[in-house]
Amino acid sequence: MPHNVMQTYGRLPVRFANGSGAWLRDESGAAYLDALSGIAVCGLGHAHPRVTAALQKQAETLLHTSNLYGVPLQDQLAEGLCARTAMDSVFFCNSGAEANEAAIKLARLHGANQGVAEPKILVMEHAFHGRTLAALAATGNARAQEGFGPLPAGFIRVPYNDLTAIDAAAAAHDGIVAILAEPIQGEGGVRVPDAGYLQGLRERCDTHGWLLMLDEVQTGIGRTGAWLASQHENVTPDVLTLAKGLGNGVPIGACLARGAAAEVLGPGSHGSTFGGNPLAASAALAVLEALDADQLMARAEALGERLQRRFREGLADEPAVVDIRGRGLMLAIELDHPCGDLVKRALDDHLLINVTAQSVIRLLPPLIISDDEADRIGDQVIALVRGFVNDAR
Ligand SMILES: *Cc1c(COP(=O)(O)O)cnc(C)c1O
């Protein structure tokens, strides 16, 4: 193995050469069923014809010009995103962390415009917002932060899914300008908050004049069975971040804003060389079109229910399984003990899954999977969990 790549990842012993739909092939030609989608990125699966065609056409036409000039495909994508999310304006960047950096800068500038000297943002325990410094400061994971101090100040951490903690923070601190939260925590363990929690955040933001900023980098773009996970709860944020599934593998992120928040970042206040360039915008436009044309959000919702039902039946008598949860095709099985080794066992079985928060098996299959593929994922995961739990006894 060459070692010129910095060793920042614990990589599994496989290298993929090509893919199609929900399947990947390694360098020897062996096939693997993908129940992770590159961590919620390839929602349309691999080599989706619409995305491939859009990229081919755009590669022959124009890759990049700079945001010094008008970019028609970026305008078109912004319009498509705003129509689907009830937002008014979009800043394009290249990743989830960058989208959150834009949101954090927007919140701070919004505070500064109102004369708040040291604007503060409420963030959640177990949150994940990315690896750049401000996004890392907002992230609720001490291990990810370790050694990278001093981190930017101005974040107040509260427990997730706890509205009384928001009220306590409001009473205890001056200068709060925003709440930043995931509508379902992804890396933190696919934590689905109680019904009414997001609505409660919305109400508190309205009461105090704060911005509600939702990080839908993982939950957005149809993953949970709606364009946005927050739409299930009929909650509209003031600021919204997207990335992962937006380009189906082409790097693109977006920070969207609504109402007064949509006007905060003006000329010269923020920027990105690559953000929303013609190539990335063409891929994202193809993603939006495919999700609509193939009604993939309805599929995600139905398949998610089908898989949860299968897990509940297949694992009903397994006491080590403490919870089965999720929404659409963002699914989790939580065990009562750490199960990171399951990822390697699944790989040996030619199935790609993930374990997060040590004991939570996370599944993020492509939204294009067939019923048979979904059942196959379900049966394989059930067998893997049973085998793993038995061996641990
Ligand atoms: C993955 C993720 C990010 C970070 O995205 P990058 O593209 O890796 O920077 C931010 N927020 C959430 C909720 C994520 O799942």
Sequence-ordered list of residues with C-beta below 8 angstroms from that of 8, at least 6 positions apart, any chain: none
Closest CA to 245 of 365, 377, 101, 128: 365
- Domain boundaries defined on the chain: 16-34+295-392, 50-293
Each residue's pLDDT tens digit, 52-75: 999 999 999 999 999 999 999 999
Q: What is the bridge-based pairing of β-strands 351-352 and 253-257?
A: unpaired
Q: Is residue 108 a contact partner of residue 154, using CB atoms and an 8 Å limit? A: yes
Place of tokens 């700079």: 66
pLDDT above 90: percentage of residues in the chain: 99
How far is the C-alpha of 221 from the C-alpha of 241, rounded, in Å?
Answer: 11
pLDDT at 1: 58
pLDDT at 392: 85
Q: Which atom of ligand 1 lies nearest, measured to the CA of 132?
A: 9
pLDDT at 54: 98
Gap from CA of 386 to ligand 1 centroid (Å): 31
Averaged confidence pLDDT in the chain: 97
Query: Is 191 marked as binding a ligand?
Result: no
Sequence-ordered list of residues with C-beta below 8 angstroms from that of 325, at least 6 positions apart, any chain: 190, 192, 308, 331, 332, 334
Ligand 1, CB cutoff 6 Å, lining residues:
95-97, 100, 128-130, 182, 186-187, 215, 217-218, 243-244
Q: Is residue 364 a contact partner of residue 39, using CB atoms and an 8 Å limit? A: yes
How far is the C-alpha of 266 from the C-alpha of 279, rounded, in Å?
Answer: 25
Query: Taking the chain, what is the end-to-end CA distance rounded to the nearest angstrom?
Result: 36
Query: Is the per-residue pLDDT at 286 higher than 70?
Result: yes
Catalytic entry in 120, 244, 311, 388: 244
Q: Which atom of ligand 1 lies nearest, measured to the CA of 130?
A: 4
Number of residues that this document lists for the chain: 393
Helix axis angle, 278-293 to 49-61, nearest 10° = 150
Residue 371 bears catalytic tag: no
pLDDT at 76: 98
CATH code linked to domain 16-34+295-392: 3.90.1150.10
Tell me which of 92, 98, 128 to substitute to probe ligand 1's pocket, judged by most ligand atoms within 8 Å of the beta carbon.
128
Instruction: State whether residue 82 is helix, strand or coil.
Output: helix
Task: Give the count of beta carbons closer than 10 Å to the beta carbon of residue 140.
Answer: 21
Q: What is the bridge-based pairing of β-strands 351-352 and 330-335?
A: unpaired
pTM of the model: 0.98
- pLDDT mean over 246-266: 98
* CATH of region 50-293, choose from 2.40.50.140, 3.30.460.80, 3.40.640.10, 3.30.365.10: 3.40.640.10
How far is the C-alpha of 228 from the C-alpha of 226, rounded, in Å?
Answer: 5
Query: Is 20 marked as binding a ligand?
Result: no
Residue ranges of E strands in the chain:
16-20, 23-26, 31-34, 89-93, 120-124, 155-158, 176-181, 211-215, 239-242, 253-257, 321-327, 330-335, 351-352, 354-356, 360-363
Each residue's pLDDT tens digit, 318-356: 999 999 999 999 999 999 999 999 999 999 999 999 999
Query: Is the per-residue pLDDT at 258 higher than 90?
Result: yes
Query: Is 269 marked as binding a ligand?
Result: no
pLDDT at 3: 81
Query: Is the per-residue pLDDT at 9 higher than 90?
Result: yes
pLDDT at 2: 63
- Using 50, 70 and 90 to split pLDDT, how confident is the model at 393? confident
Query: Is the per-residue pLDDT at 155 higher than 70?
Result: yes
User: Are the folds of 16-34+295-392 and 50-293 the same?
Assistant: no
